[in-house]
Each structure stands twice: as C-alpha cells, then as structure tokens.
Structure 1
Amino acid sequence: MSSAITDLFNQMPYAKLLGIEVTEAGDGYAEGVLPFDDDLRSNPYGEVAHGGATYALADTIGGAAVISLTEDVSPTIDMRIDYLAPVKRDIYASAEVIRHGSDVSLARVEIEDSDGTQVATAQGTYKTGGQGNETDWDGERGSERFAPESE
C-alpha cells in the first residue's frame, strides 16, 4: 500500500505546488521532505521560510500516516504545531499515528532541517470514519483514489 499512498500524495496539486514529496507511507508511519525554495520565504529580503510551509509539510505527512491505516479519505480536523527554530534549508518530516480509532486518529509529526536541527513538532487529528463512498475530497477519481495515476 505504501507505493499507492506515496503516489497519491505526490500527485496532490498543493503538495506539488510547494514541492512536498512523500517518500514513505505505511503501517501508520510516513516520511517526507520539503526542499527549501526562495518562493517559500516569509518576506522578500529574509532567508527564513514562512511557517505555513512547515505546517503544510506536517499536515501532509501526518495525513499520509493516517491514510496508510484507513485506506480512505481522512481529512484534517485539527492540527497544533510548535515552531522551534527558523527554517533556512530543506526540511524533513516523520509522522506516526499514536491513536487510531473508528472516528478519529491522532498523528505526531517531527520536523527537522537538513542539518538535523528540530524545527517544529506537531500533532494532528484526522477524521477516520463516516465519510461514505463519495465525499467532497474525492473528486472524479474517488473510486480510484489508491490506484496510481497513469501518465
């Protein structure tokens, strides 16, 4: 299932826009990377990425960890993030589902930069049940959501 989930997340337009890549996802665990890019900076003259980029990486990797268990749409209910250091280089996230239930799951996400400095920690809550066969998140490919898109 890992390959289908990484393929799914790596096709997400928002993740592609930011440059987020999910590198591993399976058994309630996921990893990914966000390469630093000048377009992610919080101001035109600084060297620090906007916090929203770090948040997007945390949410994406947390969601991939949850979906590796649910194999279904699992939208974010809530996410709390603590920023610990400025981001000035590539960042890497790892997420682990610490509670998986029929209605909600909780994932803990750790984010480090390429020097190994912990830059943030986050905890996300994701909906895991009650979506049914069709949701607003499915779009036209809902029934094929875990089949890699052929190119």
Structure 2
Amino acid sequence: MADINYDELFEVLAEFYEHMMPFNKLIGIKMETLTLETAVVKIAMKDELVGNSHKHILHGGVIAAALDFTGGVIAQLSVIKKMKHATPEELTKRLTRMGTIDMRVDYIRPGKGEYFTVTGELLRLGNKVAVVRSVFHNDDESLIAAGTGTYLVG
C-alpha cells in the first residue's frame, strides 16, 4: 500500500473544514496550520459572534464550538498518523465515523479581541477514544478558555 500524501490530504481537509461545514463557515473558521502534529484554528471577531453587546465580547457558544472543532481535528490528525498505510477509502470511513463524546470548557477571561486562535494537544489516543486538550487565545495571546474533549475514534 502507498503511503498517504499528507500535503494533498491537508489541503482537502482544510477546504472541507472551512467551506463544506456550514457552521464553520458561519463562525468564520480558518485553518492557519494543519500538520500531523498541529492544528491552529483562527476566528476573526465579527458582530454576528458577539454574546454580550454591551461589552462586545465573543459568545461562549462560539468559544466552545471552536474548542470542540479543534479537539476533533487533533483527534482526526492522530488517527491519520496512526493509519499511515491505510487506503483513502479506509481513512475516509474511519474519519467520517468520528465524533464528540464529551467536552468540558473552562472560561477564563471575556472573549475580547480582534481575532482568536485555538490550538490543541493530544492527551491520549486509544483504539476507541481520544482525549484532547484545546486552548483558546485572543490576539494579545491572553488565555480566554480551555477545553478537554473526548472523541470517538474507532
């Protein structure tokens, strides 16, 4: 079996994440970095995402969604890395069955900023479940929120 062309795969995934997932399009998710080891997601502040109009801060649901999305991407990247000799069909079948089981969000500061970045780190990858820790920062690099998610991977 041929090994996966990661550059091509990451282009396809970034296109899918940004343009084929309606909710991601709505909140403006952009893939800044996508490698086997890293996913960096960026969201620009816009009026439609404000949760507190008096203070002009980001809605907590947008923060949670971005943490969950990034955690899911990290889980997918971990599965891709583990399945490096899989056929495209095997990989597609596995990735489309993945989903969030549980997630906890800790809101640290109000969501103020011009843009926000989200990164994640794999804590554990098992045969059935992955656990990922994701962090949400503003443009001043202040920690806004952190989340831990459990994802079905097998």
TM-score by structure 1 length? 0.79
Residue equivalent to 2:109? 85
The equivalent position to 2:120 in structure 1, one of 72, 84, 95, is 95
The equivalent position to 1:3 in structure 2, one of 7, 11, 15, is 11
Q: Unaligned stretches of 5+ in structure 1?
A: 130-151
**SS at structure 1 position matched to 2:144:** strand
Q: Determine the C-alpha separation between the residues in 1 that align with 2:102 and 2:38.
A: 19
CA RMSD of aligned residues (A): 1.4
Q: Percent same amino acid among aligned pairs?
A: 29
Bigger share in helix: 2
Q: Determine the C-alpha separation between the residues in 2 that align with 1:31 and 1:51.
A: 19
User: Which AA in structure 2 matches 1:8?
Assistant: F
Map residues 10-25 of structure 1 onto 2, 5 A cutoff.
10-11=18-19, 12-25=21-34
Deviations 1:99-118 (A, max 9, x none): 11110101110111001111
1:35 positional shift: 0.7
Which has the higher mean CA deviation after the structures are superposed, 39-48 or 87-96? 39-48
Q: Determine the C-alpha separation between the residues in 2 that align with 1:8 and 1:96.
A: 21
1:28 positional shift: 4.5
**SS at structure 1 position matched to 2:61:** helix
Deviations 1:47-67 (A, max 9, x none): 111100111111111111111
TM-score by structure 2 length? 0.77
**SS at structure 2 position matched to 1:42:** strand
